[in-house]
Each structure stands twice: as C-alpha cells, then as structure tokens.
Amino acid sequence: MNTTFLIAGREISTRIRSKSFLITTLVMVLIFAAAGLAPKLISSLAPSGPETLAVASSELESAVAPLASDDLSITALSSSQAVEDAVESNAASAGLVVEAGKTVLYTNRDTSSELVPQITALIQSAAQTSALEAAGVDVPELNATVAAAAPVVQLVGTAPVNTVLTIVSFFISLLLFMQLLTYGGTVAQGVVEEKQSRVVEILLSTVSSRQLLVGKVVGIGAVGLMQLALLLVAGVAAASTAGYIAFDGDILRIAALCVAWFIPGYLFYAFAYAGAGAVVSRVEEIGQSTTVLTMFIMISYFAAVFGMQDITAAWIPIVSMIPPFSAILMPMAIAAGVATSWQIVMSLVLLVLATIGMSLLGARIYERSILRMGSRVRWREALSARS
C-alpha cells in the first residue's frame, strides 16, 4: 500500500510541478472565471449610473416623487425651456413639463426604455384617481376590490425549466468531458512513456504491476480531481459574484456531486486507457489504440450538447443511467433537475459495477502487455489465459 502511495506521489508531484500543467490550469481557471463573469462584464460596458429626470414645476416634482430612487434623481428646473435644454444637452436623461394643458415628456438617446412607460403609467393613474374622486368614488375601496380580483396563479404539470441550472448543468458536462478526456489520455500516455523508456522493467523488478498501475491511476486521478475542483471553485465564485447564481446549498450540492461523480467515471476510463496504452510500445501509437475510448467520451458529450435543446426530454434520464455515458450525462441531468432519485441511484450502481469490471479487464491487459516491446499486442493475446 505504501508503495502504491509512493508511486501515486511521484505522479502527483512530477505532474503538478510541470510548466505545461501550471499554465494549462491557470488558463482554464481564467476561462471559467471569465465565463462566469462575462455577462456582467458585457453589461457594464453599456452606459450606466443614475438617470436624472428634470421637471418644470414643484407640482410635477411631487407627482413623480414615487419614481425617485438610487437610479433616478429628480430635479426641478425654473422653466419648461430650461428642462428641454437640459434634456437636449444630456444634463438630464428625461424631462417632464406641462405646456398648454398638455403633459410633455422630453427624451434623448440615453433615456432608459423603462422610464417612459413608468412615467406614463404614473401620470395616467394620477389623472384617473382625480377623475374618480371628482365623480365621488371611494378610491382606496376601489383599489382594494381591484386587487382582490387578481387571479390565483397555480402551476400544473412539469415546472418550467430553470434556465440558470440548465446552463450550470451544461458547464458540468463540459468540465467532466474535458477532465475525462485529458486525464484518461494522461494515463495512457504515462503507461506508454514508462514502457517506451523501459523504466518499467526496473520498476517491475521492485513492485508488482498492480501496484504500479493503481499508483499511476490514483496519482493522475488526484491531479485531475484537484484541477476539477479548482475550476468549479473559479466558475462558481465568478458566477455568484456576478449575481447569476445564488451561492447557496443547491450550487454547492451540484459542485460536490460533479466532483464525486468524476471519481467512478474517471476510474472507468483510466483503467481502460491504461490497458489501451499498454498494448502499444510508442507514444505515437496511443491515438489508434485509444480511439474507441475517446469516441465514447465524445459521444457522451455530444449527447449532452444535444440534450441542451430540450433538457426535459425523456431520453436524458434513461441514457444517463447507462455506463459509461452516465459518467458525463447523469451529473448534467441531476444539476438540471431532470433525474429522479431511483434513476440517480441506478446510474451510480451501474457505473460503479462497470468501473470494477473495467479495472479488472484493464489491469489484466496491462499486466500481459506492459513488458512486450515491439509490435502492438493483439487484444486476444492480451486477454488470453497465459502470458
């Protein structure tokens, strides 16, 4: 066990100290943080700051007083002409005057789109109230009656899709896709590098092939897991800082789930990639021997992208139960809230079973192939009973 940790430790320390890892991680953290902050950054480029509404009389000032807020200040100016000039020179973003018994609202290019209907509604409502009062209507009672007549809104059937969670779920599938592809490939590469440099023969004179394989898979997986956690922290921190997601129990549960789901998914692919790496002798040959595995990961991700078109589609929770697609799809389905409890449990059980099976198979292929240099070892030979 100590030996396995020693091997895993070497994998971790040599990988996290490598320049390429540090640079890639930094760039990815920046990208994920930027993705979280992007909408906020874009909107901050548009003109903002408090608007000013200029009015020509104190009467009008008190009429629009309910609109005053942090975003809108109201100034009274001496004359209608002064208001018009202020709006024209952009000293005020809108101006309200009464000319010849008619209320006029001056606007310019900076007038926010909400301001016009707000002022219109306020003035019309004031006119309506005074007209009703003049007709002897009890306005507060009328208002109470109107308010009581509002319909009760009741949702039946499926809840509307939570857009934010759908986007979060897509990012989860993207993250898992990247990590599985990268770190599965890293395992295959690490296996072939040891085989190609022949250091494996020295290692196997000291440690068993199981220890070597498990140490490598665990070490590389730990690096992948740390990086995944870091990216999630960056994305969640950025998006919640920008106010797009609420930093609450839900998002933490989703992030933790993504990290937890990575473990069986990664182990499944890691052992598969290790076996696929062990049958070839040179790094250049990895591509062809791992094609099938890479395709499984790609298909899972394409399914996730396709699922974004209608996250409530019935096929999503079904496919999310089938390993190894479940490694990417189920966390997405859970984050989007479209998987039921039994589907989640079933998916996890099947994935863990598939992972156990794949670890035995991968270790067997690895053991039989790792010392066989030269031409690619045939699958049939790698799996046959005798070495």
The contact pattern for another protein, residues 140-179, with x = CB under 8 A and - = no contact, is: ----------------------------------------
Binding test (CB under 8 A) with another protein, winner from 158, 205, 309, 341: 205
CB of 221 to another protein, least distance (A): 20
**Which of 376-380's residues contact partners 24+ apart within 8 Å by CB, and which partners?**
376/279, 376/280, 376/281, 376/285, 376/289, 377/278, 377/279, 377/280, 378/279, 379/279
Q: Is there binding between residue 22 and another protein (CB under 8 A)?
A: no
**Choice between 215 and 323, CB closer to another protein:** 215
Q: Is 210 in the site for another protein (CB under 8 A)?
A: no
Cβ neighbours for 35, distance < 8 A, ≥ 6 positions apart? 171, 235, 238, 239
Tell me 243's DSSP state: T
Q: Scanning residues 360 to 379, which ones bind another protein (CB under 8 A)?
A: 371, 373
Shortest approach of another protein to residue 386 CB, angstroms? 9
| CB-nearer residue toward another protein: 253 or 378 | 378
* # residues contacting another protein (CB under 8 A): 21
Altogether, the residues listed in the chain come to a count of 387
User: In the complex with another protein, which residue's Cβ is closer, 17 or 102?
Assistant: 17
Say whether 99 sits in a helix, a strand or coil: strand
CB of 214 vs another protein, minimal distance in Å = 14
Please check whether residue 321 is in contact with residue 347, taking contact to mean a CB–CB distance below 8 angstroms: yes
- For another protein, the binding residue among 67, 123, 204, 237 (CB under 8 A) is 204
Tokens of 153: 């809104």
Q: Judged by CB under 8 A, which of 59, 88, 201, 284 binds another protein? A: 201
Q: Look up residue 325 and give its DSSP letter.
A: T
Check residue 207 for interaction with another protein (CB under 8 A): yes
Contact status: 203 vs another protein (CB under 8 A) = yes
> In the complex with another protein, which residue's Cβ is closer, 181 or 200?
200
Mapping DSSP to helix (H, G, I), strand (E, B) and coil, where does residue 128 land? helix
What is the Cα–Cα distance from 315 to 53, expressed in whole angstroms?
A: 54
Cβ of residue 251: shortest distance to another protein, in angstroms? 40
For another protein, the closer CB: 10 or 378: 10
Residue appearing with tokens 């070490």: 219
Rg (CA), the chain: 32
Q: Does residue 387 belong to the site contacting another protein (CB under 8 A)?
A: yes
CA dihedral 125, 131, 136, 138 (to 10 degrees): 0
Determine the interface stretch with another protein among 4-12, 238-246, 294-302, 350-358 (rule: CB under 8 A): 4-12
Q: Is the separation of the CB atoms in 169 and 333 below 8 Å?
A: yes
Residues 181-200 that bind another protein (CB under 8 A): 194, 197-200
Write out the binding residues for another protein, residues 301-330 only, by CB under 8 A. Answer: none
229 belongs to the binding site for another protein (CB under 8 A): no
- Are 61 and 264 in contact by the 8 Å Cβ rule? The answer is no
Q: What's the token pair of residue 298?
A: 């790609």
Complex with another protein: residue 6 or 137, whichever CB lies closer: 6
| 264 upstream amide cis, omega within 30 of 0 | no
Residue 188 DSSP label = H
> Does the footprint of another protein cover residue 87 (CB under 8 A)?
no
**Alpha-helical segments (H) within 155-285:** 163-196, 199-204, 209-241, 249-278
Minimum distance between the CB of residue 197 and another protein, rounded to whole angstroms?
5
Question: Smallest distance, Å, CB 314 to another protein?
Answer: 50
- The binding site for another protein (CB under 8 A) comprises 2-3, 6-7, 10, 14, 194, 197-207, 371, 373, 387
